[in-house]
Amino acid sequence: MTAAIDIRGLAKRYGDVQALGGVDLAVRQGEFFGLLGPNGAGKTTLISILAGLARADSGTAAVLGRDVVTQYREARRLLGVVPQELVFDPFFTVRETLRFQSGYFGLARNDAWIDEVMHHLDLTGKADANMRALSGGMKRRVLVAQALVHRPPVIVLDEPTAGVDVELRQGLWQFVRRLNADGHTVVLTTHYLEEAETLCHRIAMLKAGRLVALDTTANLVGRHEALRLRVRFDGEVPAGLRARLADQNGTARTFRLDGYGDVEPVLAALRASGCGVSEIELVQPDLEDVFVQIMHDDARAAQPERALA
C-alpha cells in the first residue's frame, strides 16, 4: 500500500542553520502519527516542505505517492494542513473564509460539508461573524476547519492545541479521532506529550534536523533505558551498582535499569552488601521521560529504523 506520507533524504538549510539534515520517514495510511521534537528540531520545516510552503534543498516528499513538487496539484489536494501560526484574513466572515478555501480546492458547492465541519468544531454560532471578532481559540478552530474543507485523506496538524483551552482541546481531539477512525491519516506535532501518548499509534522524534527515534508509542514508552528503580536504604551505594545510579536524594536512590530482568540482580546486590532496604518503587516511564532522555542523551539515541512503507 502506498504510504500516506513518504519522505526520503529530506534536507533543508536556512543560512547557517541545518533545519533538516537528511530525514527518511514514512507514515502509513490510516495512522495517527506523532511528530515530536523541541523547538527548532525541524518539525515545521518538514511540514512546510510537505505542504509546498518551502522547497527542500535535496530529497523528496510525497503524499499518497504524489510528489509535492512535480505533482504539486495532486499532492496538495490530498493534504490538509493546519498551520502553527494563528493566521486569518480580517476582511471576511467565518463562512466566507471556509467557502473561499473550499473553492481554492476546486469545490464549488460544498456547503453541506462546511456546515458539518463548523458544527463539529462548534463554529456554527459564529458562521457570520467577522474573523477579526473571534477569540484566539475560535480562530484556531477556523484554521482547523479550513484544513478540512476539501476532505483531505491526509491531515497534518502543526501544534493545533497551542494556547487552546481544555474544552476545545477535547472537542478537537474527539473530532480528529473520528476522522482518523473514518480512515483519514493524521499527523500531529505537539508540545503536550501526554496528548501525543494518548492519541498517536506511532511517534517520530526529531532533534536538530535529524530523526532520533521512530517507533510505536507502546514501544517507545516501554523503552528499557527509561525504566527506573527507586530504593531507599541506609549506607553507601555498593560499588557494583554505582554505574546504574541515576539520581540520589538523601537515602532515596534511583537506579537505571535495562529491563525488568535487572530488578532482581539490583536488589540481590543490595542484600549482599547488607543495606537495609526500606522502600522500593519501580518507576514506569511515560512518553515525557522517554522524550527527555532521548533529547538529552545524544550518545544513547537510538538509530532510527527505516520506516516500513
Partner 1 sequence: MIGFRTLFYKELLRFWKVGFQTVAAPVLTTLLYLLVFAQVLGERVTVYGKLPYTAFLVPGLVMMAMLQNAFANSSSSLIQSKVTGNIVFVLLPPLSYVEFFGAYVLAAVVRGLVVGAGVLAATLPFVALPVAHPLWAALFALGGSAILGAMGVLAGIWSEKFDQLAAFQSFVIVPFTFLAGVFYSIHSLPELWQAVSHLNPFFYMIDGFRYGFFGVSDTPPGVSIAVMAAFFAVLTAVTLALLKSGWRLRR
Looking at the Cβ atoms of 7 and 75, the one nearer to partner 1 is 75
In the complex, least distance from residue 231 CB atom to partner 1, rounded to whole angstroms: 52
Residues near partner 1 (CB under 8 A) are 14, 48, 51-55, 72-74, 76-77, 79, 81, 83, 85, 87-92, 96-97, 99-108, 146, 150
In the complex, least distance from residue 68 CB atom to partner 1, rounded to whole angstroms: 11
Looking at the Cβ atoms of 71 and 293, the one nearer to partner 1 is 71
Picking from 97, 57, 53, the residue whose alpha carbon sits closest to that of residue 75 is 53
In the complex, least distance from residue 150 CB atom to partner 1, rounded to whole angstroms: 8
Looking at the Cβ atoms of 14 and 260, the one nearer to partner 1 is 14
Looking at the Cβ atoms of 75 and 212, the one nearer to partner 1 is 75
In the complex, least distance from residue 309 CB atom to partner 1, rounded to whole angstroms: 25
Looking at the Cβ atoms of 20 and 287, the one nearer to partner 1 is 20
In the complex, least distance from residue 209 CB atom to partner 1, rounded to whole angstroms: 15
